Chain A
């Protein structure tokens, strides 16, 4: 979190009442959304309501033992994040305090109160290479230099968006910390690598463009059936244990984004620890560097203060926008947006606001759309193009998708990955229901798949969808009369659909090879199933009984493709064997 710098002098107040994370203060001179320090321990909080002489504050730390009469100190600045080199490879709480620094400062594995720390190391020096010369005119957002932040990412140092710009009169080159001036403009403005930005305010852009490139996830069911675009939005709702977090982790690991911002919002501590332990050892499939080099983690777990749960998604998206401004494709995962909504509800009910549906505040829908609207493929103010893709997990109570958070999210997002408890129970993973899910990007992304994978990607996919649809209809009949009562061609369709489900849609996140599947492989598995389908129906037409067709010993090998590293050769052989074994039958 940003240490307020340009503080106006403002009057301090006195605590009037304390009720959990909500504190009211008397005589405090502060603006809406200003950061304040509460009580003698200086707990961080934010102004959320002003009514006459009484200011209401949500406090980002535990308030046990805080009593009326203690002081409240204003900072005069809104809740902001520190932006600059040093955010990658970092792990923050919901108000951007680095958790490793907190551990050190608190001298304990447990989170104490009243300790603040800047979001980026203010002393560390970085090697700054200028990109502009003296005499150049620069405007807000322009890139003036780069810093090798991690082996994967060059950090672009930009003129702050609220700068007036001007002519460069001095520029440095070499090692500097983030607070030292690296560029000076003719109007006297000094530019440092460190910027601040209020989290609740979108960073400016020129315009939002229509996304045309997929965010490749390496997950067959997503890339194959329900792709998300770079700059797109997706929601993954599902009951507990259905695979939201594993899917989000898979995306954080394998998505072909330049930068990943992972927001653990009100979920488990161990899930964040898993990321911290795994990511430094995993390789980014595009660059070959450690995954952690492109990742920024925000961890506000379920037992951490509820107000910081409300702010953590904003902290995350602001950091994502900042990297987008550099021209990067950023993917943000928020697990879980329901916890954020519940934090809103909790604070709102302590404010005794009029509750809306299921106790959520009336502004729930507005907040959700404001947040997802910050996603997109943008032309930035410095002329570069960058994107923020947002993938939000939703945790509906009782797994019931008709509840307000799921419904309001679905009104905004364009990709819907519906998790299914029944699939999860039978350990069909990822348990994304192929009948219920959708992607509204499918058509606009098809040209990309045609150009970059196979020209008949859309047709082959359509065949797969039709087969799965037909299976769903047939299953209803099978439930009543059994499989053997169906005509032979329908029995065959069921068998093909089973391979589509088991060999193609299923993917084991914990298998070294299967965990990531490139689009080419996604295509080839689907196509191998189609090869079997086509050859099998020919055999059926030639009069071969269906049992013989489904009994060929090559067929079960379809289920083994996922785990093959050299899949091309394997599939070539398999397709040959399937065709020749079927040929032999007639």
Chain B
């Protein structure tokens, strides 16, 4: 292994080194500072006489005398089932004082693309116990479903609630408890505050979830460039547990916004032509290489489900980070500031939220035969009520028809009863759908044009309308 002391330039997170032997693109580099400290980095560009290196731990304190060693391989993650229960920093070094990790395998962290021909279409319903998700935007195993949030909103509570409550009802019934496919959580934190980190760790410890979790922590005061590898370590571990060890893995990545900021910083340091709002033009591809690592594979037991969290700068979903994410992931869950200030918990706005894999994951034999129709009708009715809220501010309730007034009541009750369930309640899909029918029965049967007539006969509560009419009278 050749050692160079030929650093020519240090700029932002980048170091340029003159070389006289070829170095592989993406290879890992060790830089030893004069005080003996070693930092790690990765080759971003390799030419015949120089290389550009991105230093994970930052370039602070590096000078031109530092020595540079090229390890001749790309970044690897040592994986083993024993990682479960362990806490590591953002570069994969254990920080929990536990025993040394004896790897089963060392895997390239960039990961290879799953051959689309080898995938299995995800359609196994995950019951999160959250009505706004299960009923309206159902999550399935192997899906990538981000939470679109913003600063100051309780996205972490929702992620934790899902991690705590998620079950697959069918397996429960079959008594498929501890043996067989187990459930594991991988938590990849990028640039979150120590406080947020504690919130997660406390919850993991309180509920005993830590035992079946692997935690990667890059905190707000850890080097930014390191954030570009943290999710890759997390996903490499997830793939190993899912596709080698048959686990159903839930990967929570937070906060993707910090990850993207790190990408932008590196791009700027390389003086690349920036794309929208200064983010690199290849950010779509880069994010896709993370998000597409969710899924199922034909003939394998396990699955990788991703729940990335991102905070939208300025609550703006056209910002490149949520925008590109939405273009890659299979839907999104919106956390809403207004609902939050009304005290609705979890404050999920179902209208812009979406689960693209829902259609194949619900219905008879999966959830319930009336699920799709009920969902469509609730969406339509809630959207109608939402629209009318603007109008009612101008003209008042009296100027609206009886039906319009019902839509307004529907929208209110939907938020207060269906969405607002608190962070500790887990509802079964049956409870969620029955609640849906309670609300829909406020509307006349005729108005339920998205629901099959037989299903209306079966589920519609005849007395409900009478009640509301009386109440109004």
Q: A339–B395 Cα gap in the complex (Å)?
A: 46
Q: A110–B112 Cα gap in the complex (Å)?
A: 6
| Chain B 431-473 near chain A by CB (<8 Å), digits 1 or 0 | 0000000000000001001001100000000000000000000
Number of A-B contacts (CB under 8 A): 223
| Chain A 89-114 near chain B by CB (<8 Å), digits 1 or 0 | 00100000001101100101111100
Contact (A349, B117) CB under 8 Å given A17-B45, A67-B22, A270-B295: no
Tell me, rounded to whole Å, the shortest Cβ–Cβ distance linking B238 to chain A.
14
Check A398–B318 contact: CB distance below 8 A. Answer: yes
Q: Which chain B positions have C-beta within 8 A of A559?
A: 449
Contact residues, B361-403 vs A (CB, 8 A): 372, 376, 379-380, 383-384, 390-391, 394-395, 399-401
A16 within 8 A of B: yes
Tell me, rounded to whole Å, the shortest Cβ–Cβ distance linking B50 to chain A.
9
Contact residues, B38-81 vs A (CB, 8 A): 44-48, 73-74
Q: Which of A299, A399, A425, A563 has the most CB of B within 10 A?
A: A425
Q: Which chain B positions have C-beta within 8 A of A304?
A: 113
Check A426–B383 contact: CB distance below 8 A. Answer: yes
Contact (A270, B330) CB under 8 Å given A17-B45, A65-B25, A70-B22: yes
Q: Which of A65, A266, A355 has the most CB of B within 10 A?
A: A65
Q: Report which of A67, A276, A349, A400 forms a contact with B25, defined as CB distance below 8 A.
A: A67
Check B297–A425 contact: CB distance below 8 A. Answer: no
Contact (A359, B121) CB under 8 Å given A112-B112, A482-B399: no
Check B273–A355 contact: CB distance below 8 A. Answer: yes
| Chain B 117-142 near chain A by CB (<8 Å), digits 1 or 0 | 11111100000000000000000001
Q: A381–B163 Cα gap in the complex (Å)?
A: 63
Q: A62–B73 Cα gap in the complex (Å)?
A: 15
Contact residues, A264-280 vs B (CB, 8 A): 264, 266, 268-270, 272-274, 276-277
Contact residues, A385-421 vs B (CB, 8 A): 395, 397-400, 421
Tell me, rounded to whole Å, the shortest Cβ–Cβ distance linking A90 to chain B.
10
Contact residues, B333-380 vs A (CB, 8 A): 351-352, 354, 356-357, 359-360, 372, 376, 379-380
Name the residue of chain A whose CB is nearest to the CB of B318: A398
Q: Which chain A positions have C-beta within 8 A of B288?
A: 266, 301-303
Contact (A67, B354) CB under 8 Å given A270-B122, A427-B379: no
Check A110–B113 contact: CB distance below 8 A. Answer: yes
Check A426–B380 contact: CB distance below 8 A. Answer: yes
| Chain A 246-286 near chain B by CB (<8 Å), digits 1 or 0 | 00000000000000000010101110111011000000000
Q: A425–B354 Cα gap in the complex (Å)?
A: 9
Q: Which chain B positions have C-beta within 8 A of A272?
A: 116, 119
Q: Report which of B115, B273, B319 forms a contact with A102, defined as CB distance below 8 A.
A: B115
Name the residue of chain A whose CB is nearest to the CB of B272: A349
Q: A358–B401 Cα gap in the complex (Å)?
A: 49
Tell me, rounded to whole Å, the shortest Cβ–Cβ distance linking A247 to chain B.
14
Check B110–A64 contact: CB distance below 8 A. Answer: yes
Q: A266–B286 Cα gap in the complex (Å)?
A: 12
Tell me, rounded to whole Å, the shortest Cβ–Cβ distance linking B408 to chain A.
13
Check A306–B116 contact: CB distance below 8 A. Answer: no
Q: Report which of B74, B379, B383 forms a contact with A65, defined as CB distance below 8 A.
A: B74
Check A306–B115 contact: CB distance below 8 A. Answer: no
B276 within 8 A of A: yes
Tell me, rounded to whole Å, the shortest Cβ–Cβ distance linking B397 to chain A.
10
B326 within 8 A of A: yes
Check B391–A479 contact: CB distance below 8 A. Answer: yes
Q: Which chain B positions have C-beta within 8 A of A111?
A: 112-115
Name the residue of chain B whose CB is nearest to the CB of A309: B285
Contact (A359, B117) CB under 8 Å given A112-B112, A395-B327: no
Contact residues, B263-293 vs A (CB, 8 A): 272-276, 281-282, 284-285, 288-289, 292-293
Q: A490–B244 Cα gap in the complex (Å)?
A: 65
Tell me, rounded to whole Å, the shortest Cβ–Cβ distance linking A372 to chain B.
22
Q: A272–B394 Cα gap in the complex (Å)?
A: 48
A9 within 8 A of B: no
By a beta-carbon cutoff of 8 Å, the part of chain B in contact with chain A is 21-27, 44-48, 73-74, 108, 110-122, 142, 243, 272-276, 281-282, 284-285, 288-289, 292-293, 295, 297-298, 300, 318-320, 323-324, 326-328, 330-332, 351-352, 354, 356-357, 359-360, 372, 376, 379-380, 383-384, 390-391, 394-395, 399-401, 404, 446, 449, 452-453
Sample of 12 A–B contacts (CB below 8 Å): A16-B48, A18-B47, A65-B74, A68-B48, A108-B112, A110-B111, A274-B121, A302-B285, A302-B289, A303-B289, A484-B401, A559-B449
